[in-house]
A = this chain, B = another copy of it.
Amino acid sequence: MKILFFVTHNKNKFDEAKVIAEQYKIDLQWLNIEYEEIQADSIEEIARESCNKILEKKPYLKNKRFFLEDAGLFIDSLNDFPGPYSAYVFRTIGNNGILSLMKNKRKRDAYFKSVVALYTKGHVKLFEGITRGKITKEIRGNKGFGFDPIFLPEESEQTFGEINISTKNKFSHRFKSVNRLLSSL
Protein backbone atom coordinates (compact mmCIF):
# COMPACT_ATOMS: atom_id res chain seq x y z
CA MET A 1 0.00 0.00 0.00
CA LYS A 2 1.38 3.41 -0.98
CA ILE A 3 2.03 5.87 1.85
CA LEU A 4 1.10 9.54 1.47
CA PHE A 5 1.21 12.34 4.06
CA PHE A 6 -1.44 15.06 4.34
CA VAL A 7 -0.08 18.18 6.07
CA THR A 8 -2.96 19.94 7.79
CA HIS A 9 -4.06 21.26 11.18
CA ASN A 10 -7.63 20.36 10.41
CA LYS A 11 -8.66 16.90 11.58
CA ASN A 12 -11.93 17.16 9.62
CA LYS A 13 -10.09 17.78 6.37
CA PHE A 14 -7.88 14.79 7.09
CA ASP A 15 -10.83 12.51 7.87
CA GLU A 16 -12.61 13.49 4.64
CA ALA A 17 -9.49 12.78 2.57
CA LYS A 18 -8.85 9.48 4.40
CA VAL A 19 -12.18 8.08 3.18
CA ILE A 20 -11.36 8.96 -0.43
CA ALA A 21 -7.81 7.58 -0.10
CA GLU A 22 -9.09 4.19 1.03
CA GLN A 23 -10.97 3.79 -2.23
CA TYR A 24 -7.68 4.17 -4.06
CA LYS A 25 -5.86 1.84 -1.61
CA ILE A 26 -3.61 4.67 -0.46
CA ASP A 27 -2.40 4.73 3.15
CA LEU A 28 -3.01 8.37 4.08
CA GLN A 29 -1.18 9.60 7.17
CA TRP A 30 -1.80 12.79 9.09
CA LEU A 31 1.09 15.28 9.54
CA ASN A 32 0.08 18.12 11.86
CA ILE A 33 2.92 20.60 11.19
CA GLU A 34 2.90 24.40 11.58
CA TYR A 35 4.03 26.23 8.45
CA GLU A 36 4.13 29.77 7.15
CA GLU A 37 1.85 30.93 4.37
CA ILE A 38 2.90 33.78 2.08
CA GLN A 39 0.64 36.64 1.00
CA ALA A 40 -0.41 36.31 -2.63
CA ASP A 41 -3.53 36.92 -4.66
CA SER A 42 -3.65 33.31 -5.89
CA ILE A 43 -4.07 30.26 -3.68
CA GLU A 44 -2.08 28.27 -6.26
CA GLU A 45 0.98 30.39 -5.49
CA ILE A 46 0.40 30.11 -1.74
CA ALA A 47 -0.01 26.32 -1.87
CA ARG A 48 3.09 25.83 -4.02
CA GLU A 49 5.21 28.04 -1.78
CA SER A 50 3.88 26.28 1.34
CA CYS A 51 5.47 23.03 0.11
CA ASN A 52 8.84 24.79 0.09
CA LYS A 53 8.26 26.18 3.59
CA ILE A 54 7.47 22.70 4.89
CA LEU A 55 10.61 21.25 3.29
CA GLU A 56 12.74 24.00 4.85
CA LYS A 57 11.36 23.13 8.26
CA LYS A 58 11.31 19.34 7.87
CA PRO A 59 14.13 18.36 5.48
CA TYR A 60 13.46 14.64 6.12
CA LEU A 61 10.32 15.04 3.98
CA LYS A 62 12.46 15.53 0.85
CA ASN A 63 12.34 11.79 0.21
CA LYS A 64 8.66 11.38 1.08
CA ARG A 65 5.41 12.18 -0.66
CA PHE A 66 3.10 14.71 0.97
CA PHE A 67 0.39 17.19 0.07
CA LEU A 68 -1.38 20.18 1.57
CA GLU A 69 -4.58 21.98 0.67
CA ASP A 70 -5.64 25.63 0.55
CA ALA A 71 -9.08 26.97 -0.34
CA GLY A 72 -11.02 30.19 -0.68
CA LEU A 73 -14.35 31.74 -1.62
CA PHE A 74 -14.21 34.02 -4.68
CA ILE A 75 -17.14 36.40 -5.22
CA ASP A 76 -17.46 37.84 -8.74
CA SER A 77 -19.01 41.20 -7.86
CA LEU A 78 -16.44 41.81 -5.10
CA ASN A 79 -13.42 41.36 -7.41
CA ASP A 80 -12.88 37.85 -6.04
CA PHE A 81 -12.83 38.98 -2.40
CA PRO A 82 -12.27 37.30 0.08
CA GLY A 83 -10.21 34.85 -2.05
CA PRO A 84 -6.91 33.78 -0.49
CA TYR A 85 -7.73 35.58 2.76
CA SER A 86 -11.04 33.78 3.34
CA ALA A 87 -10.05 32.37 6.74
CA TYR A 88 -9.02 35.80 8.05
CA VAL A 89 -12.12 37.48 6.62
CA PHE A 90 -14.36 34.82 8.16
CA ARG A 91 -12.69 35.31 11.58
CA THR A 92 -13.19 39.09 11.47
CA ILE A 93 -16.34 40.11 9.56
CA GLY A 94 -17.90 36.65 9.15
CA ASN A 95 -20.95 35.67 7.12
CA ASN A 96 -22.82 38.80 8.16
CA GLY A 97 -19.99 40.93 6.79
CA ILE A 98 -20.20 39.23 3.40
CA LEU A 99 -24.00 39.64 3.38
CA SER A 100 -23.59 43.39 4.08
CA LEU A 101 -21.14 43.71 1.20
CA MET A 102 -23.59 41.85 -1.08
CA LYS A 103 -26.65 43.89 -0.09
CA ASN A 104 -28.41 45.21 -3.22
CA LYS A 105 -26.05 43.26 -5.50
CA ARG A 106 -28.06 41.50 -8.17
CA LYS A 107 -25.15 39.48 -9.52
CA ARG A 108 -24.41 36.98 -6.73
CA ASP A 109 -22.16 34.44 -8.51
CA ALA A 110 -19.30 33.00 -6.53
CA TYR A 111 -17.14 29.92 -6.40
CA PHE A 112 -15.19 27.94 -3.88
CA LYS A 113 -11.79 26.85 -5.08
CA SER A 114 -9.57 24.24 -3.46
CA VAL A 115 -5.97 23.73 -4.48
CA VAL A 116 -3.96 20.70 -3.47
CA ALA A 117 -0.17 20.86 -3.76
CA LEU A 118 1.54 17.48 -3.96
CA TYR A 119 5.26 17.18 -3.30
CA THR A 120 6.93 14.16 -4.81
CA LYS A 121 10.51 13.52 -5.96
CA GLY A 122 11.61 17.13 -5.80
CA HIS A 123 8.61 18.50 -7.67
CA VAL A 124 5.34 20.18 -6.74
CA LYS A 125 2.17 19.37 -8.69
CA LEU A 126 -1.11 21.25 -8.28
CA PHE A 127 -4.65 19.83 -8.46
CA GLU A 128 -7.68 22.10 -8.48
CA GLY A 129 -11.31 21.70 -7.53
CA ILE A 130 -13.98 24.35 -8.17
CA THR A 131 -17.63 24.41 -7.12
CA ARG A 132 -19.72 27.24 -8.54
CA GLY A 133 -22.79 28.72 -6.93
CA LYS A 134 -24.37 31.86 -5.53
CA ILE A 135 -24.22 33.89 -2.35
CA THR A 136 -27.55 33.66 -0.53
CA LYS A 137 -29.36 36.68 0.90
CA GLU A 138 -29.37 35.27 4.41
CA ILE A 139 -27.54 32.69 6.53
CA ARG A 140 -29.01 29.22 5.88
CA GLY A 141 -28.03 26.23 8.00
CA ASN A 142 -25.47 25.62 10.69
CA LYS A 143 -23.51 22.69 9.27
CA GLY A 144 -20.12 22.80 7.61
CA PHE A 145 -17.80 25.65 8.52
CA GLY A 146 -16.69 29.09 7.34
CA PHE A 147 -18.82 30.55 4.56
CA ASP A 148 -20.77 27.30 3.97
CA PRO A 149 -24.13 28.71 5.24
CA ILE A 150 -24.16 31.54 2.66
CA PHE A 151 -23.03 29.46 -0.32
CA LEU A 152 -25.62 27.78 -2.53
CA PRO A 153 -23.88 25.41 -4.96
CA GLU A 154 -25.31 25.11 -8.48
CA GLU A 155 -25.90 21.39 -7.99
CA SER A 156 -28.15 21.86 -4.96
CA GLU A 157 -31.16 23.67 -3.53
CA GLN A 158 -29.53 23.67 -0.12
CA THR A 159 -26.51 25.65 1.03
CA PHE A 160 -23.32 23.92 2.17
CA GLY A 161 -24.55 24.83 5.67
CA GLU A 162 -27.76 22.85 5.22
CA ILE A 163 -26.43 19.55 3.84
CA ASN A 164 -24.54 16.95 5.78
CA ILE A 165 -20.89 16.28 5.22
CA SER A 166 -21.33 13.09 3.19
CA THR A 167 -23.61 14.87 0.71
CA LYS A 168 -21.31 17.88 0.61
CA ASN A 169 -18.39 15.60 -0.18
CA LYS A 170 -20.09 14.48 -3.37
CA PHE A 171 -19.57 17.82 -5.07
CA SER A 172 -17.42 19.98 -2.83
CA HIS A 173 -14.41 21.82 -4.22
CA ARG A 174 -12.19 19.96 -1.74
CA PHE A 175 -13.52 16.56 -2.76
CA LYS A 176 -12.74 17.40 -6.37
CA SER A 177 -9.14 18.52 -5.79
CA VAL A 178 -8.29 15.68 -3.39
CA ASN A 179 -9.95 13.13 -5.64
CA ARG A 180 -7.99 14.41 -8.64
CA LEU A 181 -4.76 14.09 -6.71
CA LEU A 182 -5.47 10.60 -5.37
CA SER A 183 -6.70 9.21 -8.67
CA SER A 184 -3.49 10.45 -10.35
CA LEU A 185 -1.23 8.34 -8.14
A→B interface (CB under 8 Å) = 36-39, 41, 46, 49, 78-83, 85, 88-89, 91-93, 97, 100-101, 103
Indicate which residue in B38, B80, B92, B97 contacts A92 across the interface (CB closer than 8 Å): B80
Q: How many copies does the complex hold?
A: 2
Asked if A38 and B38 make an inter-chain contact with CB atoms under 8 angstroms apart, the answer reads yes
Cα distance A38–B35 in the bound complex, in angstroms: 10
Cα distance A88–B92 in the bound complex, in angstroms: 15
Asked if B88 and A41 make an inter-chain contact with CB atoms under 8 angstroms apart, the answer reads yes
What DSSP secondary structure best describes chain A's contact surface? Answer: mixed
Nearest residue in B to A53 (C-beta to C-beta)? B38
Indicate which residue in B36, B81, B93 contacts A78 across the interface (CB closer than 8 Å): B93
3 closest residue pairs by CB, A with B? A81-B92, A79-B92, A37-B39
Cα distance A182–B182 in the bound complex, in angstroms: 55
Asked if B93 and A81 make an inter-chain contact with CB atoms under 8 angstroms apart, the answer reads yes
Nearest residue in B to A104 (C-beta to C-beta)? B100
Nearest residue in B to A85 (C-beta to C-beta)? B85
Nearest residue in B to A36 (C-beta to C-beta)? B38
Cα distance A159–B180 in the bound complex, in angstroms: 51
